[in-house]
Amino acid sequence: MKFILGLTGGIGSGKSAASQWFEAQGITVVDADVVAREVVEIGQPALTQMAH
């Protein structure tokens, strides 16, 4: 069975530390902030769509 956990919290609440700990344990971490930045990089289709 697959277990998915969402990690949320305010600034300075320890999200990054928790994510780093999960990664150190070999757990896959998907950081939505990183993904959001990648999607709107120059040349990406999403950026072009949002600009129109």
3-30 residue pLDDT tens: 999 999 999 999 999 999 999 999 999 9
pTM score, whole prediction: 0.67
User: Is residue 51 predicted with pLDDT exceeding 80?
Assistant: no
CA distances from 26 to 1, 19, 23, 51 (A): 17, 11, 5, 38
What is the structure's pLDDT at 50?
A: 79
50's tokens: 């949002």
What is the structure's pLDDT at 26?
A: 95
What is the structure's pLDDT at 48?
A: 79
pLDDT digits (tens, 9 = 90+) for 28-38: 999 998 998 99
